Structure 1
Amino acid sequence: MTENYTALYEEHKKLGASFTDFGGWQMPLKYGSELAEHKAVRNSAGIFDLSHMGEVWVTGPDAATFLDYALAGKISAIAVGKAKYSLICNQEGGIIDDLIVYRRGDEKFLVVPNAGNAKVVAEALAQRAANFDVDVEDVSAETSLIAVQGPKAEGILLRLVPAAQHELVTGLKYYAAVEVSFLVGGAERSLLLARTGYTGEDGFEIFVENDDATALWQSIVAIADEGELTPCGLASRDSLRLEAGMPLYGNELSLQGDPFAAGLGPVVALSKEGDFVGKAALAAKKESGAGASAGRKLVGLKGLGRRAGRGHYPVLKDGNVVGEVTSGQPSPTLGYPVAMAYVDVACAEPGTALDIDLRGKAEPFEVVALPFYKRSK
C-alpha cells in the first residue's frame, strides 16, 4: 500500500510522535502518553490532525436531489449551514462508508468520508452522478483538517478569531458550520469551521488548504495557555470515540453489515421520495427484522472485572457463542473495561449478563445502553 503523508507530518515528527499506518496514511498514534492525551480532551482540550479524511464537493442545480439518490439519508432536508451524519450504501444494502454532509449553499455540499474510504466514496459519487446536473470534485489531496476537541476548545479558538466574529463561534450549534476569519501566522484566513467531532466532547473541526495547515496548527498551539491544549494521536481518538459509543468503519461498520443491526436505522430515510442506491435491499432488511427481531445487534458491554475484551473476541452466553466484539479496551474515564459487540438480538437487552472469551477464560460483562460516556452540558 502506498504511504501518504499529511501536510502536518513534519510537525508531528518535531513533536516526537509515534506513527502508525491508518487507511494508507502515516498518522500520529500518540505523542507521549495516550492516557494523558485522552484525559486532556475530557478535561481541557486536545488538537488532532484529521487530514487523512476525505473532502468531496458536490455542486450544481441537482446537488440536493443527487445526494438524496446517492446516500441513505434525506440530504435535501439539511438547512444551509447545517450538517448531517449519513451513510453511502451499495445496491445490496452494505455500508460503503459513514460520512458527514455539510450544506454550504442551496446547490453546494461538502461530503466528508473516512480516510481509507475517501477514494472509493469519491468514485462512487462520480459514478452515481451520471444522470444528474452536478459536479463532483474530490479535493481531499489539497485539504487538511484540524480538530480541537474538549471543554476548553471554544475559548482557545476565540483567541484567533476577530472580536466582531466571536458570536459566529459561540453561537455555532452542534452539526453546523460557518466561514470564520482566523489569524494564521500573522495573516487573516477565512476558513470553514464546523462544530463536529469524534470524541464525545464539545469541539470543532477546521478545514484548511494544505499550504496553511502548519501555520494554523502552530497558531492554535501558540495561543493556548501552558497545559491547556495537548497534541493527540489516533490512540486517544479511538478510546474517546469508544467511550462515546461512536462506530468506526472497519470495526462496527462494513460492507457485510447493515445499518439496522448497527443501530443506525434512523439514518436510513426509506420514506423519502424516489429511489436511492440500496433502498430495496435496505427495506427488505428492515422488513425481515434486522437488528430488532432477527440476526445480531450492536450493543455496549460493561466489564464487571478488570480485563478488557478486544476486537474479534467471542461473546458468550452460558458458554455458547452469541456474538463478537468489534471494539474494546479499558475506559480511562470510567475506570472499567468497555466494548461494543454484535450479539444475537435475544441477548441484546440492557442488563443481560454475558461473557467475553479472553483467550480461553470467560470474563463477565453486562449489556448496557450506548454511549458509555456522555459529557455534562
Structure 2
Amino acid sequence: MKNIPLLHIHESLGAKILPFAGYNMPILYEGVNIEHETVRNAVGVFDVSHMGEFLISGPNALALIQKITTNDASTLTIGKAQYSCFPNDKGGIVDDLIIYKMKEEEYLLVVNASNIDKDWEWISVHNDVNADMKNLSDEYSLLAIQGPKAIEAMQSLTSVNLSEIKYYHFEVAEFAGIQNVIISATGYTGSGGFEIYCKNDEVEHIWNKAFEAGTAFGIKPIGLAARDTLRLEMGFCLYGNDINDTTSPLEAGLGWITKFTKDFVNSEALKVQKENGVQRKLVGFELIERGVPRHDYEIVDKDGNTIGIVTSGTMAPSLNKGIGLGYVTTPFSTPDSEIFIRIRKNDVAAKVVKLPFYKK
C-alpha cells in the first residue's frame, strides 16, 4: 500500500484508515452522516491525493487526447476543464477523467487512483503521434474543499475572486502563500467548492492554512465514506461500481460526453450502438419501502424475474431513504417504472427516478 503525504495528519485526527485503490486512505472521522451534512451545509476537506495526474503536451497533444477520449477536447480553452472517458476497443470504459487545458498544447489529465497504471499504459499504447507524456501522480497532492461555505471560507487565502470561477473552470494562482496552485471549481459532491492541486511538499502548509481560514465556518476533515454518499445523492458514476471495462458510455447515461463529431477509439461501434439503441441502461432508483440497497443486489420485476443489478446503493443522509444506481433492461428505465430490489430474499419495492436524487 502507498501512503499519501498527509497520512500522519489523518492518523493524528483519529481517522479510520483503510486500504483504498492501492493507498492507505482516511475513510471516516466522526461518522458518515455528520461528515456528509458538514459538506451539504458548511465546508469540509477531503484528501484525495491518491488521484492520478498525467501531463500531455506538445504539438500533437490534442490529437492524442481526441483519439483516446469520447468528449470533444477541441472545445477547451485555457482555464477550462472537461469531464470525459477513455473508451476501450470492446465497447466498455477504461476510466473516466477530467481534462484541464493548462496552456496551448498542454493538458492535465486527472484519472482514478485505481487505474493510474492501466490508464498510463493505455494512453502510451495509443500515442503514435509522439505527444509528450509525463506521469506526475507521485508528485502532486489534491485537496477537495467542498460545501456552500467554501468560497467564503477560502477567499482570504487568495487574491483570485473565487466566486468568479465558474463550474468546470480553474485558475493557476497563489493560494495560502504558495505559487502555481491549481484552484479548480470542480468536485464530486454537488455542494460547490474547489479542488486544490499542489506539490506534495506544499500540501501540509495548504491543509493547515485552509483549516485556519475555515475555522469560523465550521470546516472539518471528511473521509471517503461520506464522499461516496455525497456523490451517490448526485447520481455521479464511480469507476469500478457504475462504470467499468464492460459498460458502454451510452448504457451508463454518458451520451452527453460521447461526441461523434470526431473519430476516437471504438467510435464506429458506439455510433452503431447509439443508432440501434442499448439493451440496458444505468438508472437511479429510490426505495418506496424501508431498506438499504447494496452493490450487486439483484433488481427484479413484480413477478420476480431478474431485470438488472445494483451498482451503488446507500441510505441517503440528506434524504433519509434508500437510493441507488443500477443497470436495468431498457423497458424498465423510464422514470416512475416499478422495480424491486432483492434484499436478503425479500423483494423491496422501488421506483426509477430522474437524477440527481439530491436537489438543492
TM-score (norm 2): 0.97
Matches within 5 A, 1:1-377: 3-130=1-128, 132-161=129-158, 165-167=159-161, 169-183=162-176, 187-226=177-216, 228-272=218-262, 275-290=263-278, 295-318=279-302, 319-375=304-360
Give, in whole Å, the separation in 1 of the partners of 2:42 and 2:178.
26
Contact 2:85 2:96 in 1 (8 A): yes
Counterpart secondary structure, 1:206: strand
TM-score (norm 1): 0.93
Counterpart secondary structure, 2:120: helix
Give, in whole Å, the separation in 2 of the partners of 1:95 and 1:232.
29
Give, in whole Å, the separation in 2 of the partners of 1:196 and 1:188.
20
Deviations 1:185-210 (A, max 9, x none): xx443301100000011110010100
Give, in whole Å, the separation in 2 of the partners of 1:111 and 1:374.
29
Contact 1:300 1:338 in 2 (8 A): yes
Counterpart secondary structure, 2:265: coil
**Same amino acid, percent of matched pairs:** 37
Deviations 1:263-289 (A, max 9, x none): 0012111122xx321212212322331
Give, in whole Å, the separation in 2 of the partners of 1:204 and 1:158.
11
Counterpart secondary structure, 2:277: coil
What one-letter code is carried by the residue in structure 2 that aligns with 1:106? E
Give, in whole Å, the separation in 1 of the partners of 2:153 and 2:217.
12
Contact 1:65 1:76 in 2 (8 A): no
Counterpart secondary structure, 1:12: helix
1:226 deviates by 4.7
Give, in whole Å, the separation in 2 of the partners of 1:250 and 1:262.
13
Contact 1:64 1:107 in 2 (8 A): yes
1:223 deviates by 1.7
1:247 deviates by 0.3
Contact 2:160 2:173 in 1 (8 A): no
CA-atom RMSD, angstroms? 1.2
Do the aligned partners of residues 256 and 188 (structure 1) sit closer, same or farther apart at CA in structure 2, a change above 3 Å counting?
A: closer
Deviations 1:200-250 (A, max 9, x none): 111100101001111111111122125611100010000000000000001
What runs of 5+ residues in structure 1 fail to find an aligned partner?
Answer: none
Counterpart secondary structure, 1:181: strand
Contact 1:30 1:235 in 2 (8 A): yes
Moved over 2 A (4+): 187-190
Counterpart secondary structure, 2:348: strand
1:93 deviates by 2.2
Give, in whole Å, the separation in 1 of the partners of 2:130 and 2:315.
49
1:133 deviates by 4.0
1:127 deviates by 2.0
What one-letter code is carried by the residue in structure 2 that aligns with 1:281? A
What one-letter code is carried by the residue in structure 2 that aligns with 1:67? I
Deviations 1:314-356 (A, max 9, x none): 1111211111111111111011111111111111111111110
Deviations 1:24-56 (A, max 9, x none): 111111112111000000000110001010000
What one-letter code is carried by the residue in structure 2 that aligns with 1:361? N
